[in-house]
Amino acid sequence: MGAPPWFRSAIIYQIYPRVYGMKKGKFGTLREIQRDLPRIQSLGVNTLYLLPIQPSGQIQRKGIAGSPYAIADYKGIASEYTEQEGREPVSEEERAQWGKEQFRDLVREAHSLGMRVLLDFVGNHCAPDNVLLDPENPPEKGGYHPEWFLWSDGPYPIPSNQDWSDTAELNYGIPIPGKPNFDRLRYDDDRIREAMWQYMISVLEYWIKEFDIDGYRCDFAHWVPLEFWQRAITQVKEIKPEVVFVAEAYERLKELLESGFDGVYAFELYNQLKSLHHDIRHGDPYFEIRYIEDKINWECSHYPRGTSMVRYTENHDEVRSVIMYGGIERSKPPFLLALTLPGVPMLYAGQENGAYIRPPLFEGNFGENEFRPIDFQTHPELLAWYRHVLAIRSAKAYLQGEEIRFFPTSNRKVSAFLRKQGDAMALVMINFNAEPEAEPVQFELPPEVYNGEEEGHLVDLLDSGIVISLTSGRRPAQVTLQLAPLQSVILEVRRSN
């Protein structure tokens, strides 16, 4: 099927609404996000991804606030994200209407600024007091369906994972080997499964029809049947063909892509970057930079052509990158790698300012006992760096395409590759060396860059001042660069004629 064209040039900015614009212990709101859209746009991103904005369940909730991934109403908006704006709600229905209005305004303004909006879809589980388990839930909100869940001896449906004790597993009626309770994921009556699927598809359709969002990041997508995704994605794209589906998944990635997903999380490369950096910091003599090349070549050969790998160095499930990699400067090469490889880059709000606190999903999560706002005023030099490299990514079509070829260098701590589209191209060298001494990097120019006939220059887009001349009739056997610690380069080919 292939991803919509706009997704090829997407740069995703992940937002956790609770801590975005948070003030004096009060959670952030949809209006706070809307008011900050000009700043977000100036950063150079063009796609927003919001963690769940639906209300969290009350029963068995974790912490005081509860996890946003324990959803109580798939078609609701949490009142905590709604601003009263000087009004007093007459009823819960009126307050709910305000939430819809404010989210609709957010999406509209984002669109007016040329940005897209993605929402989280949590299809594997919900809160144990989801409205689907309320006998008084009206049909227009899904009705009462305890038969869509798995039960044991307790008063509430069972979770799909014991660590997710604040959730209830949804039964799609198709066993998924390896998933807990997979042998119970069946229905004796296919009509029950059909009704359940219709409702979950209606949830996906709802946010498209009502708010004109542009797609979904699908939580733990590999624990939802492929057959469901095939049908759901097809139906939703009939409503809005430009919608994208991104799978957060750790198994069956190829099968999910073949089932219609436009992109998947590049979690394997993320894990490789973690171990790569650890190896370099601790001087592991067995470390080889070629692992990155092997991983990318494997992706290219294993996944369907046109696959968009979503690449990141942090997200809400992971440690902040300045902590993971040991400081601001050490966090730059991994992100620059994610930005310049084929795929769709993603950053987590606050990353651009060196945020080090990992916001909890609930009090006590990730070792954090309270929610704290993101400080967008710190480390202006890092912010300037992010704006610069994101602008490069947006401006250069060859960084948004699929073509890549790695080439060897003399330095085992440098990942080097050619990005090319048509006649436009650049050599990218990501330097993970953090030793105090600068190290030389020797390499031969790939024939695509210089064949001995065309004149021109290689100019570093990262403003190092490096310029390499290409002289007709003289093909340099080898080029040597002296790279400072953690200094990377993007050497763009500029022809003289």
Separation between Cα atoms, residue 113 and residue 110, nearest integer Å: 5
Compute and round to an integer the Cα radius of gyration of the chain.
24
235-285 pLDDT per residue, tens? 999 999 999 999 999 999 999 999 999 999 999 999 888 877 676 666 665
Residue appearing with tokens 């880059």? 345
Residue 434 · residue 280 · CB < 8 Å: yes
Q: Are strands 308-311 and 344-348 parallel, antiparallel or unpaired?
A: parallel
Domain 404-495 fold is Immunoglobulin-like (2.60.40)
What per-residue confidence (pLDDT) applies to 285?
A: 53
What per-residue confidence (pLDDT) applies to 475?
A: 61
Separation between Cα atoms, residue 442 and residue 480, nearest integer Å: 4
What per-residue confidence (pLDDT) applies to 178?
A: 87
Supply the DSSP symbol for 6: H
Separation between Cα atoms, residue 243 and residue 260, nearest integer Å: 11
| C-alpha distance from residue 241 to each of 85, 245, 293, 342 (Å) | 36, 11, 34, 23
Which residues, in sequence order, are CB contacts of 230 under 8 Å at separation 6+? 259, 260
44-67 pLDDT per residue, tens? 999 999 999 999 999 999 999 999
- Give domain 5-399's CATH number out of 3.90.79.10, 3.40.640.10, 3.20.20.80, 3.20.20.140: 3.20.20.80
Separation between Cα atoms, residue 319 and residue 324, nearest integer Å: 6
Q: What is the DSSP string of 20-40?
A: TT-BTTBPP-HHHHHHTHHHH
- Other residues' Cβ atoms within 10 Å of the Cβ of residue 89: 14
Stretches in the chain below the pLDDT threshold 70: 1, 277, 279-288, 473-477
What per-residue confidence (pLDDT) applies to 288?
A: 63
Q: Are strands 215-218 and 116-121 parallel, antiparallel or unpaired?
A: parallel
What per-residue confidence (pLDDT) applies to 291?
A: 84
- What residue segments make up the domains of the chain, in order of their start? 5-399, 404-495
What per-residue confidence (pLDDT) applies to 239?
A: 98
Separation between Cα atoms, residue 485 and residue 305, nearest integer Å: 36
What per-residue confidence (pLDDT) applies to 450?
A: 85
